[in-house]
Amino acid sequence: MKIKESLTYIGPNRRADVTLIENLIELDSAEQQTISAKATDYRERALTILRASGINTDIEALSDQAGDETALEIFARLYSGSAIVVQRAAGHRVHFAGSVGDSDPNRVRALFEYEQVDVGDRADMLICSLLAEVMPELDWTDFEPVNPGDFTKSFAGFREFAQPFILPLDTQGIIDAAVQLDIPWVKLERLPYQVLEGDFRIRRNSLLKLGHATHQHIVDGTLCIDKEHRDKPDLKIDKQVGGDTFKVIVANGELIGVAAGGTGQDLSSEIHPEMLRRALNLADSVGAGMSVIDIVTTDICLPLLESGGAIVGLDISPELDRFLPTDCDLYRKAMSAFMKWLFPEGGASRIPLVSVTGTNGKTTTCRMITKIMQAAQYITGLACSDGVYINGKLTDAGDKSGGGGHHRVFESRDVNLGVLETARGSLAQCGFVFDWCNVAVCLNVTMDHLGVYGVDTLEQMAELKCSVLERARDGIVLFADDEHCLGMLPGLTTPRICLVSLASPVEELRSISKAATCFCVLEKIDGSHWLVLYDGNKRTAVIAVDEIPATFSGKAPFNISNALHALGACHLMGLDIATIKDGLRSFEPSYEAAPGRLNFYDGHPFTVILDYAHNADGCAKLCAFVDQLEVNGKKVMMLEARGDYGEDFVVQYTAAAAGHFDHYVCRSHPNPRYSGPDPQRVAALMKETLVNYGIEESQVTTTTDPEFALETTLQLGSEGDLLVFTPSQGSREETWKRIISFPSS
């Protein structure tokens, strides 16, 4: 038994809408045969050990298996189910357990929910040890088995570790109310955030961010720390008061109810009006979102003076779960009213969101959409592979096309619209940050990034990218020229679908899908190519291709495609045509505006192009673009390939460049993480591929030294030449700076 890969989803994901740990488990054929033969015995032994430690095992995942289950499914179900019950026995409210198959017949992916990641990891280790004891016939070389009788002690240690991380019931109640009202929420003491300690804290594990960006509020316990003060009025009790304690609950300026005795029964109809008036006046004086006034009296039906009672306490951050059952109407009513105080009816809690996925063109399309949205006077938050940009200003550099970058956008109190590049890497490893977006775009699905995170085929990649589209509420934009994009159509239920095509006329697109009502196509008008929008029966010629700088007068069809997708997305977001035109006209493909996306430098006797063509499809499109340029001298390409995706990837990538240049400088990826186990083999394979495609050996230079590759390419440049560089994202800035500073004669 081996765990070949472990993924930690920190948000909604392709498997479920809860945080999950996913383990890729490998069992050899002998182990599978053993499990099939002893499945019932293994299950009973595991349940006996769990129950002996006081653990309730009554969940579906640990019930009798179906007769047609494979050994892999049996093992995964026992594994995941056991991980759930030990967490629940330690006080963590988790439920989801499951498994998915893998392309390898000896592997299965076991999934189980966690609430706090360290607790989830500890549960994972505990269950591995448990099953090592239950199934000694398997190979447990990598794990330490629990000795007979010791699991109870091990579980006790796990429970002691887990209990300080239990999410308060009130925090869960706020989350439940937020979900009911469709308000986005994030736990600020869970990944990717860290526990925040200090005397200023109200309640451990209770810090939440509710709402997006400009609409956000931070809640600690039941106190909104960005709207309320923490000072309580001085309540002086001059005499000893006897009687019962009644709690008057006020939220959103309204009486929620009166509770006593922890029953959840509402006593509002019994409290004397004078007593209630005093309590409500006191609550109103502090203006808290939620408050609880404690009244001690012998008779709630009498005025305070007559009963000898008194108001003895005011709590502006009450812990309702200490005196109310969380499943009672009074509790739910209080939480809902608190949320409505934070987000009054008619007020927004979300910002409009556009999510863009695909293999190539994501960043450029996101930048085009952002430029259009800025033309519409939105304060934009863009998260992409170049970084996080707040209204056009870079605030966080690096690849932010996933969870970390998306969180940065939602954290900004300035942003009122988000454009989120949603790349497969973060999506496959960590999941989503958003639960839904307004419009989702899928540009294409091509050969790249296969063989990792359970994505081994183009079909599986399309399924992963389709999970982005499934979260769009208002509209979807799909590239109809891509068969894998078209394959997503049958399962989509979004109200509006827009199909984009560079090649097909609108009549043909209408015949593809009855669900599609919007189309963005390329048409020839008076001798020029135009972006044309069809919405129902209305046709609008939007803008000529020549008016969009990024298309290079039509020589860059991939940027025409990106512009069509941007047009479709912004139209579905409700923008007018004039604004969309202004945005597309103003988008310049300069290094400053779109680094690594077809950037030209003309400061030398030769011309330089820098482009992040990192896969075969991107390289082929770049070469097709170069073929259209008038070059008086020779054409030289510095080609950089990743080795960690295997030799087929290197061959396909390099082959895409063959025949388009006079000289090639081939280097492996400079980062050891991506260069593969043998960087020299990568460089040699690139040369071998080029030679196989008819390139003379003398036309190819190979190296594993990134600086040598850069300098060699630049030194090959003469007047009238064209030098093309395809550096990795990590070395892009260094490459561009060297291109500019190179002392050409």
User: Measured between alpha carbons, how far is residue 229 from residues 223, 289, 312 in Å?
Assistant: 9, 11, 20
Q: Quick check: 148 pLDDT over 70?
A: no
Provide mean pLDDT across the span 533-537. Answer: 95
Note the pTM of the prediction, 2 decimals. Answer: 0.95
Residues 463, 440 share a domain: yes
Strand order in the sheet with 254-259: 254-259, 244-251, 290-297, 310-315
- What digits encode the pLDDT tens for the residues 194-245? 988 888 899 999 999 999 999 999 999 999 999 865 555 555 555 678 899 9
Distance in angstroms (rounded) separating the CA atoms of residues 281 and 60: 51
Report pLDDT for 231: 58
User: Measured between alpha carbons, how far is residue 282 from residues 74, 170, 236, 313 in Å?
Assistant: 60, 23, 13, 10
Domain that holds residue 634: 599-741
Task: Say if 234 falls within a structural domain.
Answer: no
Residues 316, 200 share a domain: no
Provide mean pLDDT across the span 61-78. Answer: 90
DSSP 233: P
Report pLDDT for 235: 59
Distance in angstroms (rounded) separating the CA atoms of residues 222 and 225: 9
Residues 300, 277 share a domain: yes
Mean confidence (pLDDT) of the chain:
94
Which phi and psi angles does 521 have, rounded to 5°? -135, 170
- What digits encode the pLDDT tens for the residues 19-62? 999 999 999 999 999 999 999 999 999 999 999 999 999 999 99
Task: Say if 610 falls within a structural domain.
Answer: yes
Provide mean pLDDT across the span 463-467. Answer: 97
Residues 580, 549 share a domain: yes
Task: Say if 674 falls within a structural domain.
Answer: yes
Report pLDDT for 237: 54
Number of H helices, E strands in the chain: 22, 29
Report pLDDT for 730: 87
Helix (H, G, I), strand (E, B) or coil at 130: helix
Which phi and psi angles does 163 have, rounded to 5°? -65, -35
Burial of 593 (0-12, 13-18, 19+ CB in 10 A): middle
Which has the closest alpha carbon to 146: 61, 5, 52? 52
Least confident of 20-34, 531-545, 636-650: 636-650
Within 10 angstroms of residue 728's Cβ, the number of other Cβ atoms is 20
Task: Say if 233 falls within a structural domain.
Answer: no
Q: Are strands 244-251 and 254-259 parallel, antiparallel or unpaired?
A: antiparallel
Within 10 angstroms of residue 490's Cβ, the number of other Cβ atoms is 8
Report pLDDT for 387: 96
CATH number for the domain harbouring residue 678: 3.90.190.20
Contact 363, 386 (CB under 8 A): yes
Within 10 angstroms of residue 255's Cβ, the number of other Cβ atoms is 17
Residues 607, 534 share a domain: no
User: Measured between alpha carbons, how far is residue 183 from residues 19, 434, 708 in Å?
Assistant: 18, 11, 53
Q: What is the DSSP string of 79-145?
A: HHHHHHHHHHHTT-----EEEEE-SSTTEEEEEEE-SSHHHHHHHHHHHHHHHHHH-TTS--TTS-P
* Token representation of residue 501: 């095509």
Distance in angstroms (rounded) separating the CA atoms of residues 239 and 692: 98
pLDDT tier at 677, thresholds 50, 70, 90: confident
CATH number for the domain harbouring residue 250: 3.30.470.20
Q: Quick check: 182 pLDDT over 70?
A: yes
Provide mean pLDDT across the span 680-705. Answer: 96
Q: Are strands 700-703 and 607-610 parallel, antiparallel or unpaired?
A: unpaired
Contact 311, 278 (CB under 8 A): yes
Q: What is the rounded (10 degree) CA torsion for 684, 685, 690, 696?
A: 30
Report pLDDT for 645: 82
Which has the closest alpha carbon to 384: 174, 201, 594? 594
* Token representation of residue 560: 């025409």
Which phi and psi angles does 260 have, rounded to 5°? -160, 145
Residues 574, 633 share a domain: no
Contact 365, 570 (CB under 8 A): no
| The last residue of a domain, from among 586, 610, 642 | 586
Which phi and psi angles does 722 have, rounded to 5°? -125, 120
Q: Identify the residue whose tokens are 């071998």.
A: 688
- In the chain, the percentage of residues whose pLDDT exceeds 70 is 97
Report pLDDT for 335: 98
| The last residue of a domain, from among 563, 586, 609 | 586
Helix (H, G, I), strand (E, B) or coil at 184: coil
Contact 449, 385 (CB under 8 A): no
| The last residue of a domain, from among 534, 562, 586 | 586
Which has the closest alpha carbon to 443: 358, 355, 544? 358
Report pLDDT for 215: 97
First-to-last alpha carbon distance for the chain, in angstroms, is 63
- What digits encode the pLDDT tens for the residues 580-638? 999 999 999 999 999 999 999 999 999 999 999 989 999 999 999 999 999 999 999 99
Task: Say if 348 falls within a structural domain.
Answer: no
Contacts of 602 (CB under 8 A, 6+ apart): 608
Task: Say if 468 falls within a structural domain.
Answer: yes
Count of structural domains within the chain = 5
Residues 563, 427 share a domain: yes
Q: Quick check: 508 pLDDT over 90?
A: yes
- What digits encode the pLDDT tens for the residues 566-579? 999 999 999 999 99
Report pLDDT for 236: 56
Report pLDDT for 229: 58
Residues 431, 563 share a domain: yes
Residues 420, 540 share a domain: yes
Distance in angstroms (rounded) separating the CA atoms of residues 480 and 469: 15
Task: Say if 659 falls within a structural domain.
Answer: yes
Rounded to 10°, the helix 29-52/117-134 angle is 110
Contacts of 134 (CB under 8 A, 6+ apart): 42, 45, 46, 49
Between 345 and 550, the more confident residue is 550
Q: Quick check: 399 pLDDT over 90?
A: yes
User: In the beta sheet, which residues pair with residue 640?
Assistant: 667
Which has the closest alpha carbon to 127: 72, 71, 81? 81
Distance in angstroms (rounded) separating the CA atoms of residues 281 and 285: 6
pLDDT tier at 451, thresholds 50, 70, 90: confident
Provide mean pLDDT across the span 673-699. Answer: 92
Residues 422, 363 share a domain: yes
Residues 205, 149 share a domain: no
- What digits encode the pLDDT tens for the residues 478-498? 999 999 999 999 989 999 999
CATH number for the domain harbouring residue 574: 3.40.1190.10
Residues 115, 261 share a domain: no
- In the chain, the percentage of residues whose pLDDT exceeds 90 is 89
* Token representation of residue 399: 């690849």
- What digits encode the pLDDT tens for the residues 289-342? 999 999 999 999 999 999 999 999 999 999 999 999 999 999 999 999 999 999
Report pLDDT for 228: 63
Q: Quick check: 675 pLDDT over 90?
A: no
Query: For the stretch 220-248, what's the b/e string if a residue is b when 16 or more beta carbons lie within 10 angstroms of its beta carbon?
Result: bbbbbbeebeeeeeeeeeeeebeeebbbb
Least confident of 32-46, 239-253, 500-514, 532-546: 239-253
User: In the beta sheet, which residues pair with residue 417?
Assistant: 380
pLDDT tier at 640, thresholds 50, 70, 90: very high
